Amino acid sequence: MIKQINAVLAIAQRDFMELLRDPARLVSSLIFPLIFIVVLGGSLQASFGDADFNLLTFTFTGVLAQTLFQSSAQGVISVIADREKDFSQEIFVTPISRYSIILGKALGETLVALPQGLALVLLGFILGVGMTLTRAIALFPVALVACMLGAAFGVLVLSNLKSQRSANQVFPFVLLPQFFLAGVFNPINDLPPALAFFSTLAPMRYAVDLMRATYYSGREEYSRVVLANPATNLLIVGVMFLVFLVVGTALFVRKERNR
């Protein structure tokens, strides 16, 4: 058991070291979130927002959750890249449980995503979205949840992929719809029944909603922005996390064995 934990930590550290060695990656990973927040959020606010319902803040919180979720999910997919670089051979011949390998990867990518979240939170102080130190601290556990859920989702996607190329093709398809179904930029309180149904299936929705529940806590917009009780969201996130991780890892292990 101790050996498995050590292995999980070593695998996680490897991913984190990769980020430290390549700080440009952190900067480039912030470009899209910034465009979303500043350009999209800013223009939405200017066109449709008002003093009561700030769309810039709404977009900021949505993008924060989305960035953490997506970064972790995409990071886990790097197992595929390792395989193409022949590095995973090295990992897979070690006498370590496949589950530990995946768990280490998920933890590592969470560590890679968190600095991105931190950078966005720091930007929050100058963007005029009402960021305070108390809020920033309160966001941390939610950020962790968003990363873990994203990583588990990544494992599930990964288990159905063959190559880096298929990953590049499939990823926009499984992520982009979630941007809108999760209401990252667009309020989704009133959706047509079909879209409302699909929205409940989008894992990102729960990360975004938890993020907003924390950020808007104690604000008067809370009831208009937050969709569900945080406890309910947390329960759903917990179930999704476990199902994604267990099913994803089982499928992945089976596929590796057949290779």
Residues that bind other proteins (CB under 8 A): 2-3, 5-7, 9-11, 13-14, 17-18, 21-22, 85-91, 93-96
Shortest distance (Å) from residue 94 CB to other proteins: 4
- Read off the amino acid at residue 72: S
For other proteins, the closer CB: 10 or 251: 10
Residue 167 amino acid letter: A
Nearer to other proteins, 94 or 189 (CB): 94
Helices (H), the chain: 2-21, 23-29, 31-34, 42-48, 55-76, 78-84, 87-92, 98-127, 133-158, 164-181, 193-201, 203-215, 222-225, 230-258
Q: How far is the CB of 258 from other proteins (least distance, A)?
A: 10
Helices 193-201 + 164-181 axis angle, to 10: 130
CB of 85 to other proteins, least distance (A): 8
Residue 258 to residue 38: CA distance in whole angstroms: 47
Nearer to other proteins, 233 or 249 (CB): 249
3-state secondary structure of 220: coil
Minimum CB separation of residue 89 from other proteins in Å reads 5
Considering the complex, state which of residue 2 and residue 194 has its C-beta at the smaller distance from other proteins. 2
